[in-house]
Structure 1
Amino acid sequence: MKNIPSVDLSDFLSDDSKRKQKFIKEIGEAYEEIGFVALKGHFLSDDLTESLYKEVKNFFNLPEEIKESYEIEGIGGQRGYTSFGKESAKGKKEGDLKEFWHFGQEVIGNEKLKAEYPKNVLVNEIPNFNKVGMETYKKLEKTAIYVLRALALYIGLEENYFDKFVINGNSILRPIHYPPIKGEPKGAERAAAHGDINLITLLMGASASGLEVQNKKGEWIPVTALPEQLVINVGDMLERLTNNKLRSTIHRVVNPPKEDWGKSRFSIPFFTHPIGEMPLNCLPECIDNMHPKAYEDITAGEFLNERLRELGLLK
């Protein structure tokens, strides 16, 4: 496989049962094989994408002291700004060569969850930053819900199985800036090899190449997608839930060739997280004699905290 498979969400959304079944089969098999797809037919418009990239670039161009004023202590970086080099991949001592921002869930109709999640951080200097960020958040969340519905059917669950866990879930939209590289990185990468923590990740087109995914043979494949496509991959929570049926593939963002060190790179992933109470116990539909239960029972909240500690974001 030279690149990741392409799928079209409008097949799943159509009234044609054959097209719907085709999408379910294509995305399910892709996630068993390599854990990544390029998806078109989603809910995010080109105009909104363009607006968010403009706002994000404006934010990361702010002076360091202003950006750092939006870095909130004690919440594991779950909202607001995280400064350069703070996050490292699991098992890696060098910090990744990036700074980022987190938009989180705006809870509707659940006061308990509303009190549980940190509040979003408002940026005073850029009037449209939060508005455009949250508009994008909702469009990507809607897309994620439909992708998970297709996967529920592929696994053999009821179509809306994930809805109750993902609606009001602890999902994160993360605009990332990889600044120009100023000197020899000494073992650090823009993002070292890692698997994502969550159920699925939706990636809006990055401003430069660099994303690579590892196939079953251990080879690194550059991920390319058309501007109108989202790259969507399986996270560790979904791999665990499906008892390794769907694969959370290791991926990385490599440093550019030396002649491109002076250029910034921007990318914006949406990490689809469920509510903390969601059980990640291996589904009975994914356990058999050939595939015995591979993981202990745990909730999504417990698993997230465990991983945030491993990443150095929680003490």
Structure 2
Amino acid sequence: MPVPVPIPELGSYNYVTETKENLDWADLVTVDLSEISTPKGKRTQANILLSALKEKGFFYVKNFNISQDRVNRQFALGKAFYDLPNEEKDRFAPDLETVEQGNYNGYVGDRQRVVNEKTGLRSRVEVYNIPKFNGDFEHHHPSIIEEHIEEIEEFARSLHSEVLDPLFVLLALALELPEDYFIRIHQYSVKSEDHLRYMKYGKYTPEENKLINNWVQGHTDLGSFTLLFRQPVAALQIRYPSTNEWKWVKPQDATLTVNACDALQFLTGGYVKSTIHRVSVPPIDQQHVDRLGLLYFSRPHNDIPLATIKDSLLLQREGYIQNNFEASGNPVPTMEEWTFAKQKWQRSGYDDPKHKTAQILPGWKEKVYA
């Protein structure tokens, strides 16, 4: 699909100046997609990816064939959406019952969640989720989105062809599987709960920030890979699996930040770890601005069982032959069952003390991290 001619009235997006604070940055590797045109280059990048997934779970990706201008326009669209009045945004929110059942495409404001019980200070996180454009989902958007819907669709599809598919090839090679193994279970044309997300973390005053431990507590994502476009407001932190230390993730020019998620952990019997991360309070020199995010959440087809892959020679050799469900003798969920169980847990019951360690499916307890 050709890229639509940009509509001038959208305007440009101005990024915030990076922090001058000397933070404890994570040491992450970079996968270079310009190097995968040869068998040798592909093998080298597959090894880099595998080391990233085993050691940190987060990594950068560069040279993914999507221009910065196209990325900038998506940030501009996100900003334009969040500039709408709350009453207008709320028109595109799923009803409460739908949200509590784990389905929340569209707009979800998190205004009911309390982030400081003593003062009653509430969350200012907002998300707008746009599902696949493959015929499986209804699309009902405000005019600012509808006017640019072809451009948004092209952008979302390009994330599959230019970023996810190459990463899935490298992952398959790393696990000693046929190159198309993961591509076959992540086809854009097949129903899955992927979505493109515009996300806003509304700013707090410095005084309010002193009352908050984290804007979003530590958690894992539920799919395969999460793609995060460069966000200059420092707030993302990851927990190193080997030491449990929290490290800041530094924004890198012309890169995507990518993390491994729950589905890959289940499919690899725990060999790939779903990475724990959180959104902390930004450094003082960036607390005067909202934090706008542009993300894409990739998930296997809804009907894929999340059982350990039996065909991987690497997993067999290393002894990763069962995930938590298989080891406990409980039914292995499909991706759809896992998605809605976890999203239901995320979106309801968080005021209940038992929520932080709730069993969301037989054989699996979720956890909130500090």
Query: Is 1:177 matched up with 2:200?
Result: yes
Judge conservation of contact 2:125–2:199 (CA < 8 Å) in 1: yes
Q: SS at the partner of 2:275?
A: coil
Map of 1:120 onto structure 2 = 139
What are the equivalent positions in structure 2 for 1:36-185 lying under 5 Å apart? 36-73=58-95, 74=98, 76-85=102-111, 97-107=124-134, 114=136, 118-142=137-161, 143-167=163-187, 168=190, 169-182=192-205, 184=208
Task: Please list the CA deviations of residues 8-57 of structure 1 after superposition, one character each: whole Å capped at 9, or x if unmatched.
Answer: 01112x1x211111011111111111111100011321111011111110
Q: Which residue identity is paired with 1:141?
A: H
Judge conservation of contact 1:97–1:188 (CA < 8 Å) in 2: no
Q: SS at the partner of 2:45?
A: helix
Aligned partner of 1:224 among 231, 250, 253: 250
Unaligned runs of 5+ in 1: 109-113
Unaligned runs of 5+ in 2: 1-24, 116-120, 326-331, 351-370
C-alpha RMSD over aligned residues = 2.5
TM-score by length of 1: 0.87
Report how far residue 292 of structure 1 moved: 4.9
Map of 1:111 onto structure 2 = none
Task: Please list the CA deviations of residues 244-294 of structure 1 after superposition, one character each: whole Å capped at 9, or x if unmatched.
Answer: 111211011111235543310011111001211012101123246744513
Judge conservation of contact 2:111–2:124 (CA < 8 Å) in 1: yes
Percentage of matched positions with identical amino acids = 23
Report how far residue 313 of structure 1 moved: 5.4
Aligned partner of 1:201 among 198, 205, 226: 226
Map of 2:323 onto structure 1 = 294
Structure-2 separation of matches of 1:87 and 1:201? 24
TM-score by length of 2: 0.75
Structure-2 separation of matches of 1:234 and 1:53? 23
Map of 1:249 onto structure 2 = 275
Query: Is 1:211 matched up with 2:236?
Result: yes
Structure-1 separation of matches of 2:67 and 2:304? 31
Q: SS at the partner of 1:245?
A: coil
Residues 1:243 and 1:29: Cα distance change in structure 2 (over 3 Å) = same
Bigger Cα Rg? 2
Structure-2 separation of matches of 1:146 and 1:210? 28
Q: Which residue identity is paired with 2:43?
A: Q
* Greater Cα offset, 266-275 or 75-84: 75-84
Task: Please list the CA deviations of residues 163-210 of structure 1 after superposition, one character each: whole Å capped at 9, or x if unmatched.
Answer: 232113321111101111146254463221111100111111114111
Aligned partner of 2:303 among 277, 284, 302: 277
Judge conservation of contact 1:282–1:295 (CA < 8 Å) in 2: no
How many residues are matched? 301
